[in-house]
Amino acid sequence: MACFTVTAATAIGVAVARHIVKHHEKKVEKVEITNANTDTLTTSKKLGILEIALLGRSFILAGEHILHGEVTFTFPFLTAIKEGADAVKTMLLEMGTVGVGMTVVIVAAWGIGLLIRDFLLKRRNKKVVE
């Protein structure tokens, strides 16, 4: 019913964090010696990837909920609110289980992807040095 709102709220939090980190990265100028074979990603770019993943999933689910009539374009937008307390209880349960679970899986996949990327870059750079 409203599980997409959890990923959307998380994406908004990540966007705020990304903007703060990006501002800090511009403020603090670092002198780095970069290897020509090293592909670097700043923290703000990594957070941007997470933000896109969360927003993409949220928009897809919002569209699915609109198609099934669970979300309308008239106030209060969520049909569960119109249906009464039992429907709201079910909606909140879905947000707490499906929404949070889905968000955790997206963040975990993002983190694992970054770990694999870093591992492969270190392995590639080790071969170049040898």
What is the domain extent for residue 95?
A: 4-129
Query: Given pLDDT bands bounded at 50, 70 and 90, which one contains residue 30?
Result: low
pLDDT in tens, 106-130: 999 999 999 999 898 888 877 766 6
Write down the pTM of the prediction.
0.80
Q: Count of domains in the chain?
A: 1
Instruction: Name the average pLDDT for the chain.
Output: 85
CA dist., res. 79 & res. 83, Å (int): 6
Tokens in use for 93?
């349960």
Q: Could you give the 3-state DSSP secondary structure of residue 31?
A: coil
Length in residues, the chain? 130
